[in-house]
Structure formats: structure tokens, C-alpha cells
Homo-oligomer: A and B are copies of this chain.
Amino acid sequence: MPDFSIGVDLGGTNLRIAAFTSEGQLLEKVSLGTKVSLGPDHVVNEMCDSIRGLAHKYSHKGAFQGAGIGVLGIIDLETGMMRKSANFPGWTEYPARAEIERRLGFPVILENDGNVAALGEKWMGAGRFVPNMAMVTLGTGIGGGIVLDGKIWHGLHGMAGEFGHMTVEPEGVPCGCGSHGCAERYASATALVRMAQEAAAHGDAPGLVKALASDPEFGSKAIYNLAMQGDEGAQRLMRRFGQYLGIMMGDIINALNLDMYVIGGGVSSAWDAFAPAMFQEMRERSLVYAATAPADPLGDEKRGLGRAGNPERKTIVTRALLGSDAGLYGAARMPIMSA
């Protein structure tokens, strides 16, 4: 058996730990809840128990390369401290890396979740045959990460790839970041629900009104389902979502001119409902995309890119392949790369 490593995905709700071979094969995955309310020490203890367990279990089969941990929120890469995060109240300035390493007795690599997801898709997902790519994760908010020459592009403070806070509507709705009109206020799960409520209040979306009244768990998935069933109000909403996402994507493409942009996260499952509007907007907005887009991006998207990479040198915008495991893959990849 080849060497192996461990990846951790530390989210606000879920804590997942997985062992991978150095060739990218998933060996075993453990899913725990993140008991944020019990405090950082409790969560870190549980995490370290699982890491130790997996490291021991596979140690007779290959050399353990170490552990990488993707954390929701922003990490100070130099100190390994967590910065202020709405998802981890009470963790502010918690010396996460030092506490984890003290328990495990070996060094670990911390990284923010947007970056590990990008690295995961680069390693074993949609981006595995291109050197340069960005990943956009559509969930409650919008996460992002940039991979250049196969490695995470951190920027000066580990904050590169904050795509969700690019402005798509200068006079738009306020955002938790202090700005207004940020992309994640128009092209995330949260944004979809807000726009559905607005459309329902406006009286021009009877299907959404009905769904809002009858479904106590009304969310982005319900809007997508309505759109796929032909509801016009929901379809309008998904198009609007796609247009705003297209503005953000067009800006990123104009600035970076990468080989590939991978769109993942829970809301990316609504791809069929928003992608046509997104592609149209990108083509109108981005001269770089317009000049370099494949003839049929939706068709090309289904085909994906083969082992030959990107021989036609087109700008590829495509769906993620690893689903919610992207971050686990990327986290496990980090110790292998630095080994």
C-alpha cells in the first residue's frame, strides 16, 4: 500500500475526518457533529481521537504523511490562530494549531475551507488535469479558493479567494462583512431564500407563496425543485441567481484568466436551473470569457476534461466532482505536498 494521510473538515455543524492514500484513494471517513457549544477543547479532543485512531489503523499498511485540517472561517496561517468567525463563537483567537499539535505530538497544517476545497478538486476532482484553477463554493455563503501551479494561492494574509464579497450590486442589500451588494447576498442558499421571500411578498410568484406557506423547511432546494417542475416564479429566481453569479464569475475571469473555474457546494446541485443564465451573463460581461469560451460550455461541461488537460486552451467553467468531500481531499493533500 502507498503512503497515507488524514484530512479533516471542521465545519460549524459537521466534523469529518478521513484517511486517504497518497494516490488519492479514500480509505475511511468518520463523520461527527461539531459540538461547538461544548467549546474548542472538546471539539479538538474528539478530532484528535479520530485522527489518532485512523493513523494507527492504517499505519501497518504504509507510512503516515501527516494531517491537514480545513476550517470554516479564516485562519492566521503564521500563528495557527482562528480569527473572528460567526460559526465558532468563543473560538476567537483560539490557538487551534498549537492545541491540536500538543495533543497529537506531530505538526498539522491548518487551512481555510475555501482553499482546501479548491485543492481537493485540483487533486482528484474537476481540476485534476489543469495547473491553474479557482473554486467557488455555493452554500450558506460563497467560499472561494485559488490554485496556481498546483498549489494554493494564499495571498499575503491567507485571505485570497474571498469571491463571495466581491460587489455585484453596488447599492444592494447589506452584508455581514460590512459592505453591501456582495455576491453572496445574491448567489448563495441564503440569498435564494431571501429573494424568494421578496418575490412572494411582491405577489408575482404564486408558486413560491404556496411553498413558503406549506413547507416549514422551505429552502434553496425547494426553490430549485419548483423551478425544475416548471414554476415560473422559481425559474425567474434561479435565472437571477445565475446572472449575479455570472457577474462575479466574469469579474474573476477578467482578473485572473485561469484554465478552469469549478463551482461546487450544496447549491451547485441546482446547476441545471442557474447555469444557462450564468453562462450567458459571463459571455456578455467578460471579454476574456467571450474570447476564450468553448462553443458549447454546457455540453462541454458534461464531457469534462480528459487526461490531456486543456489542449484547446478554452476557459472552462464546470461543476465540482467531489461534492461535500472536496475539503477532505484537499486537507489530506496538504501534508503529502509538503512532505
- Chain A positions near chain B (C-beta within 8 angstroms): 83, 132, 144, 146, 148, 153-163, 165-170, 177-179, 247, 250-252, 254-259, 284-288, 290-292, 310, 313, 315
Q: What are the residues of chain B within 8 A of A179 when measuring CB–CB?
A: 250, 284-287
Question: Contacts A148-B148, A170-B247 given: A159-B285 contact, CB under 8 Å?
Answer: no
Q: Are A255 and B156 in contact (CB under 8 A)?
A: no
30 contacts between A and B (CB under 8 A): A132-B155, A132-B156, A146-B255, A148-B148, A156-B258, A156-B313, A157-B313, A157-B315, A159-B288, A160-B255, A161-B255, A162-B254, A162-B255, A162-B257, A162-B287, A163-B254, A163-B255, A165-B254, A165-B285, A165-B288, A166-B251, A168-B170, A170-B247, A178-B284, A178-B287, A179-B250, A179-B285, A251-B251, A251-B255, A255-B256
Q: What are the residues of chain B within 8 A of A255 when measuring CB–CB?
A: 144, 146, 160-163, 166, 251-252, 255-256
Q: Are A165 and B287 in contact (CB under 8 A)?
A: yes
Min distance, Cβ A60 to any Cβ of chain B, angstroms: 41
Q: What are the residues of chain B within 8 A of A144 when measuring CB–CB?
A: 255
Q: What are the residues of chain B within 8 A of A315 when measuring CB–CB?
A: 156-157
Q: Are A256 and B167 in contact (CB under 8 A)?
A: no
